[in-house]
Amino acid sequence: MSSDSIKREFGVSAEMYPQKGELLHPEHEGDVLKPNERWATELDMTTLRRVADSIPTAAYFVVVTEFCERFTYYGISGVFQNYIQNGYKVPNSRPGAIDGGQQMATGLGNFFQFWCYVTPILGAIVADQWLGKFKTILLFSLIYMVGDLVLTLTSLPGSIRHGGALPGLIIAMITIGLGTGGIKSNVSPMVAEQYGRYRPFVRKLKSGKEVLVDRDLTVQSIFNWFYWAINVGGLSAIATTELEANVDFWPAYLLPTLMFVLCIAVFWLGRKRYIVNKPTGSIVIKAYRTIRAGLRNYRAAKRENRLVAGVDGKKVSWIDYAKPSLAGSAVAMDWDDTFVDELRVGIRSCKIFIFYPIFWLCYGQISNNLISQSGQMNTGPVPNDIMQNIDPLTLIILIPIFDLFIYPAFRRCGLELRPVTRITIGFLVAALSMAYSAIIQHLVYTTGPYFEHPGEGDNGFNNISAGLQVPAYILVALSEIFASVTGLEYAYKQAPESMKSIVMSLFLFTNAGGSVLAFCFNSISVNPYLVKNFAIVSGLMGAFTVLFFICFRHYDSRDSSEILDKTVFEKPVDQY
């Protein structure tokens, strides 16, 4: 980075840039001091109030890109349930095109969600091995665009009447899902990478008071606003469901397609501002060979009674037996001890992901079974699938409140909500949302005139207001703030530098696991079994919440102490 670019970006001269060896991560050029700042001491870490830094301009370009992509994704997928479930232009019926019924609609919707969250692993490999995040996002955006065009063209009235809607939808789902994977696995770590300050520092405010600027809080804030942009984009389903109901499906798909053109343009415009890390080679195969070597060497050492102890006297982990220093020089390895240490951290950070498929099973209900539930209720003059937008609306309101007021208030009281605590709360709230949905479904079935068979054949809806669904969507939104946003943040912060894309893609892959679980519920995702569907999902989420907290409650204190141990501090001298 030139002296001019340093001054332009940070408002300081090149002479203020610290010398190599003074930084926590010397390779990161963002660790510079402004005139009102100094490096933090260990005493500062325990006495000063911690605050988040401002978000860099480059990160906003990535956030806007994600907003446009999510506008497209939710605008398109928001009308899938009606598009697949109902017939085309059937009098006195909900809008539709394919007439496949609720089970087909829910099954295809679950397939689409599954596919969209399997492909991020491919996107991570392409970025790490060959193209880097920036070029990978551009490439997969073009693939995504092809799917948008196929879906829009096959939803024209002539195509629907001649049977082109279903094959066009399947092709579009596969293509859009592939594009989504390449974007999602890279855009999340890329937005956080735009904040290049790693070493903790103290800033003097205009009031003369000093505060500790904390990288972890800044990354947490970036992901909060990143998720906020996702949900603003998710409001596109309001427009597309209205277009579906009052015009036709092709304009409902055309609007998100046009927005995706803007998505590509915004991302390209920010190209000169991004911090872009070059590809370092995919670590997937290398990690596999390392894990295999660790297991093999550990079993051999155990069998021969030559297990070794670490500096604390405890036996070292099985993965440490993949280290060349333990295996001996006679063993050929293309990795070093540092890579094994990073891999251990990566594996450990992925353990909490095991519990997320159940959470995504709960979340997925808002895009299929809860839409069908509202179709069985009186929605007044609005489409039934517009109800799902209560979730992003709630998030748009609550995320800034949590980021600016609630989380800082907890920190001022000395009760900071660390990741595992937040995730546990999110899981619990998700279980409550499904329990509430089961109660509402019971009320639907006990209300006439169609009772347990609303919407079947020429039947209409039961005489119960869809407004009763609102608390279910609000609870789902709260669960996302605590569990989904925190999961993104945790995956990024805990992953080693060389493994961020793949760890983020593994977190996204848990969403695919939720879709697989949803397939198991397909047989009861239809009347008159929906009460059982919601109740079982709620019970599973509640049980896994308890198990999650038991397994990982110690992670919060351990992670915070490790961060403190690894931090480089300035000697406590008079800075002013």
Least confidently predicted of 155-159, 195-199, 249-253: 195-199
Q: What is the pLDDT of residue 575?
A: 40
- pLDDT over threshold 50, residue 21: no
What are the pLDDT digits (tens) for 291-308?
A: 899 999 889 888 888 888
Q: What is the pLDDT of residue 458?
A: 58
Instruction: Report the pLDDT value the prediction gives residue 242, as an integer from 0 to 100.
Output: 93
Give counts: helices (H), strands (E), the chain. Answer: 25, 4
Percent of the chain whose pLDDT exceeds 70? 89
pLDDT digits (tens, 9 = 90+) for 504-553: 888 989 999 998 999 889 889 889 999 999 999 999 999 999 999 999 98
> For the segment 422-480, what is each residue's pLDDT rounded down to a tens digit?
999 999 999 999 999 999 999 999 998 999 988 765 578 999 999 999 999 999 999 99
Domains contained in the chain, CATH given: 1-33 (no CATH), 51-280+344-566 (1.20.1250.20), 284-335 (no CATH)
pLDDT level of residue 289 (50, 70, 90 thresholds): confident
Bin 568: left if φ > 0, else alpha if -120 < ψ < 50, else beta.
beta
Q: Report residue 348 as tokens.
A: 């450990």
What is the pLDDT of the chain when averaged over all its residues? 87
Residue 539: enclosing H or E segment and its boundaries?
helix 530-552
With tokens 């009098």, the residue in question is: 91
Choose among 397, 389, 79, 67: nearest CA to 235.
389
CA 6, CA 188: separation in Å to the nearest integer?
Answer: 25
Over 86-141, what HEC string results? CECCCCCCCCCEECCHHHHHHHHHHHHHHHHHHCHHHHHHHHHHHHHHHHHHHHHH
pLDDT band at 412 (very low <50, low <70, confident <90, very high): confident
Give the confidence band of 330 by pLDDT, cuts at 50, 70, 90: very low
Q: 238: pLDDT confidence band, cut at 50, 70 and 90?
A: very high
202 SS3 class = strand
**Confidence at residue 566, expressed as pLDDT on a 0 to 100 scale:** 57
> pLDDT-based confidence at 144, cuts 50/70/90?
very high
Residue 115 has pLDDT above 50, yes or no: yes
pLDDT surpasses 80 at 16: no
Q: pLDDT at residue 563 above 60?
A: no
Residue 485 in this model has a pLDDT that exceeds 60? yes
Q: 456 and 86 in contact (C-beta within 8 Å)?
A: no
331: its two tokens? 């063993």
Q: Supply the DSSP symbol for 490.
A: H
Q: How far is CA 126 from CA 129, 288, 318, 509, 514, in A?
A: 5, 17, 30, 16, 25
Q: Name, in order, each residue with C-beta under 8 angstroms of 281's C-beta and a sequence gap of 6 or more.
A: 128, 129
- Tell me the mean pLDDT in the region 18-33: 48
3-state helix, strand, coil split of the chain in percent (to 5) is: 70, 5, 30
The predicted model scores a pTM of 0.79
**Distance between CA atoms of residues 506 and 117, nearest Å:** 9
In this prediction, residue 331 carries a pLDDT of: 56
Q: Which residue has the higher pLDDT, 313 or 349?
A: 349
Q: How is residue 106 written in tokens?
A: 């829910």
For the stretch 345-361, pLDDT in tens is 888 878 899 999 999 99
C-beta contacts of 282-290 below 8 A and 24+ residues apart: 282/125, 282/128, 282/129, 282/502, 283/128, 283/498, 283/499, 283/502, 284/125, 284/502, 286/334, 286/335, 286/339, 287/343, 287/346, 287/499, 289/335, 290/319, 290/322, 290/335, 290/339, 290/340, 290/343
Q: Which of 60-64, 147-151, 455-459 has the lowest mean pLDDT?
A: 455-459
Higher per-residue confidence, 454 vs 566: 454
Place of tokens 């093999």: 296
d(CA 468, CA 380): 13
**Which tokens go with 219?**
């990354």
What pLDDT shows up at residue 381? 86
